Structure 1
Amino acid sequence: MEKALYLRFAGDAALLLLTIILSFTVSYLLKCQPKGINCADISIQKRYKPPFISEFYLNLAFGLFSFIFLMACELSTFPWKDTIEPKKIAIMKTYTIVSVFTFGMFAQSAFVTFLQIFTGEPRPHFLFVCKPNEYCALVDFNYIPKFTCTGDASLVKTARQSFPSSVAARSSLSMVFLSIYVHSKFSCERTPYGKCLLQAIFTTSSLLASIQLVSDNMNHWRDIYSGIAMGTCSATYLAYSLKWFKTEKLDVSDLLVESDQ
């Protein structure tokens, strides 16, 4: 590796590490500021249903699947029989795509978690898991400005982080990113509907996972809408930075030429 490539790898690694640290810092060190609740609000009086698959594993599944799919596609189109120069270019393109996607996922994760903690929006099952020490019927106008939850602390913590939906945001980012990637990567001239079918599967899986959260009383519809919008916009921006919307493709050959000089 030449100096130019070393500098790029070092810069990318530092930026990615900073993003990962920021994501975990926001998740585990920041604390949600409690706010008052309205006991008459029926949107937070739903029953708690233990999810079949937790949000953590859903987010992990979408992220890992996207990474595996990207690597599989890049390896399937890798110029194994070409000379060393096309191989270098292919490796740099694969590295760029994967690093940009990984950075986007962790950056959005930090932003979504920050919004959840900052807003402190209660989930539909908030009152069920909180079990406030104030009796709603004895409070004027059924509004409790200050109260203490007597329920399970871990459930109460997550019950204060409804807006926006992390699953909707992360699944939308990964699946929309893959849909744009497929559209840019493959022409599918012999099977033109194959690409459309694959894109439909990606987007539908994201939508189904998001809608299921409403059915499980984990999120409100507004949380889902905002999460999908954030994920779609983030994926579109990442794809734009990779020049997938332009006729000219991402060119890393200049960097390789400079490193050889």
Structure 2
Amino acid sequence: MHSGSIRTGYTSHMAAHETEIKSSTSIVPCFLFVELVLMAGTVILSYHFEYTDTFPVHTQGFFCYDSTLSKPYPGPESTSRAPPRLLYPLITVLPIIMILLGEVISVLTHPHWKSREKVIACGDCCFFNPLLRRVVRILGLFSFGLFCTVIFAGAVQTVTGNQTPHFLSVCRPNYTALGCVSHIQYVSTPHACTGDPVLIAEARKAFPSKPAALGAYSAVYTMMYVTLVLRIKGSRLVKPSLCFAILSPSWLLSLLRVAEYRNHWRDVLAGTIIGSAIAVFLVTSVLNNFGSSSGSRPEELEKPLQDPQLNPVPPLPPPPTREKAMALRPLMSLDPPPCLVPVTPDVLIPSNCMTSQV
């Protein structure tokens, strides 16, 4: 009878812990009037950088017969080995699928997962599930970082106006009219090019490489999610293999951009650094390494609940009395007390012997 009541109390305590609800009146207004506004602003700004001429690109000059800018024109982006129809789905869809699978696996394999997040009640009608909140937070920040990467890379391209390796092939300058007689002569005339203006404007957006930045951001964000969230027991090679598989398309994309004369190696390196830095900042500073919003550590949450009736704490021993302490005091001394051994009638020398006999 007593054990049944203990088990019933323990079960009710566990159920109360799992169904804990936190009330909040600011989550919906903050989401509608702050986060959605910022997200819409980043989308609109990235659209203007990517598909319009709202921000004119800086017109940078070039040296006559510059060999670093005279590579053959590789064709439009659609003819590349990594075309946009393959690149952008790989950057966006693959991380989303991996994050969704990771969250579902975490729910199914961790019994104390619900203790990491709380159900948020906004009023009497809106209840936000912990899994839904976490997925929206992770994927929403991932989308926000993608648009921020586009904005940052586009802004740097607009300000610098660095040329691609095939710039002179699409520029088609008239060296005779420009008076080019040596390789060290610098041409700064805005109307020095006679080629297609659209291709020329695209050839002035080389630094940093936007595809390399997006690929690095997506790969690093997903790799950090796999490393910090997924817990695979019994194998030490699964996580490194997944991370290398995620990073490999990004590295291959960077090599293709250089091999096809679409970007210089420094453009690809700068894009990789920018995308990786944005991903690391969002994961570590904003998401706190994909931890819970309450700030509690997983080690503390995964400890099983202990009932004081099932696991009684043993009583502490009573303190020793004064008589026992005085009785044990001589036995606890390391060195015996010194005694006096008479050597001569007039000299007494201290010694460590236990007895003194003449």
**What is residue 77 of structure 1 aligned with on the other side?**
106
Call closer, same or farther: CA 1:154–1:252 in 2, change over 3 Å: farther
The structure with higher relative contact order (CA 8 Å, sep 6+) is 1
**What is residue 123 of structure 1 aligned with on the other side?**
164
**AA in 1 matched with 2:166:** H
Call closer, same or farther: CA 1:18–1:79 in 2, change over 3 Å: farther
CA distance in 2, matches of 1:55, 1:42: 28
**What is residue 251 of structure 1 aligned with on the other side?**
293
Q: Which structure 2 residues correspond to residues 199-238 of structure 1 after superposition, within 5 A?
A: 199-238=243-282
1:6 equivalenced with 2:28 (yes/no): yes
**What is residue 259 of structure 1 aligned with on the other side?**
none
CA distance in 2, matches of 1:15, 1:92: 19
Where do 5+ consecutive residues of structure 2 fail to align? 1-22, 120-127, 297-358
**AA in 2 matched with 1:144:** V
Q: Give the superposition deviation at 1:13.
A: 1.1
1:37 equivalenced with 2:62 (yes/no): yes
Higher helix residue share: 1
What is the DSSP-based 3-state SS (H/G/I as helix, E as strand, rest coil) of the residue aligned with 2:26?
A: helix
> Is the CA contact 1:136–1:142 (under 8 Å) kept in the aligned structure 2?
no
Q: What TM-score do you get using the length of structure 2 for normalisation?
A: 0.64
RMSD of the TM alignment (CA)? 2.7
Moved more, 23-32 or 155-164: 23-32
Q: Which structure 2 residues correspond to residues 118-157 of structure 1 after superposition, within 5 A?
A: 118-135=159-176, 138-139=179-180, 141-146=184-189, 147-157=191-201
**What is residue 65 of structure 1 aligned with on the other side?**
94
1:98 equivalenced with 2:139 (yes/no): yes
**What is residue 40 of structure 2 aligned with on the other side?**
17
Aligned residues: 251
Q: Give the superposition deviation at 1:144.
A: 1.4
> Is the CA contact 2:102–2:230 (under 8 Å) kept in the aligned structure 1?
no
| Aligned with residue 152 of structure 2, among 93, 96, 111 | 111
What is the DSSP-based 3-state SS (H/G/I as helix, E as strand, rest coil) of the residue aligned with 1:12?
A: helix
CA distances 1:155-184 after superposition (whole Å, capped 9, x unpaired): 212110000011111111110110100011
What is the DSSP-based 3-state SS (H/G/I as helix, E as strand, rest coil) of the residue aligned with 1:217?
A: coil
Identity across aligned pairs (percent)?
Answer: 26
CA distance in 1, matches of 2:176, 2:160: 24
**AA in 2 matched with 1:9:** F
> Is the CA contact 1:123–1:161 (under 8 Å) kept in the aligned structure 2?
yes
Q: Give the superposition deviation at 1:39.
A: 1.9
Moved more, 178-187 or 79-88: 79-88
> Is the CA contact 2:82–2:253 (under 8 Å) kept in the aligned structure 1?
no
What is the DSSP-based 3-state SS (H/G/I as helix, E as strand, rest coil) of the residue aligned with 2:232?
A: coil
**What is residue 71 of structure 2 aligned with on the other side?**
46
Call closer, same or farther: CA 1:136–1:203 in 2, change over 3 Å: farther
Q: Give the superposition deviation at 1:122.
A: 0.3
CA distances 1:50-74 after superposition (whole Å, capped 9, x unpaired): 3233357524431232223222322
CA distances 1:127-156 after superposition (whole Å, capped 9, x unpaired): 011112443883254321113422233221
Call closer, same or farther: CA 1:206–1:219 in 2, change over 3 Å: same
> Is the CA contact 2:213–2:272 (under 8 Å) kept in the aligned structure 1?
yes
**What is residue 49 of structure 2 aligned with on the other side?**
26
**AA in 1 matched with 2:171:** C
CA distance in 1, matches of 2:130, 2:211: 34
CA distance in 1, matches of 2:209, 2:180: 31
**AA in 1 matched with 2:144:** F
Determine which structure has more spread, i.e. the larger CA radius of gyration. Answer: 2
> Is the CA contact 2:164–2:206 (under 8 Å) kept in the aligned structure 1?
yes
Moved more, 95-104 or 19-28: 19-28
Higher strand residue share: 2
Q: Give the superposition deviation at 1:100.
A: 0.9
Call closer, same or farther: CA 1:108–1:216 in 2, change over 3 Å: same
What is the DSSP-based 3-state SS (H/G/I as helix, E as strand, rest coil) of the residue aligned with 2:237?
A: helix
Q: Give the superposition deviation at 1:226.
A: 0.8
CA distances 1:208-254 after superposition (whole Å, capped 9, x unpaired): 11111000000001101111111111111111021118xxx222599
Where do 5+ consecutive residues of structure 1 fail to align? 255-261
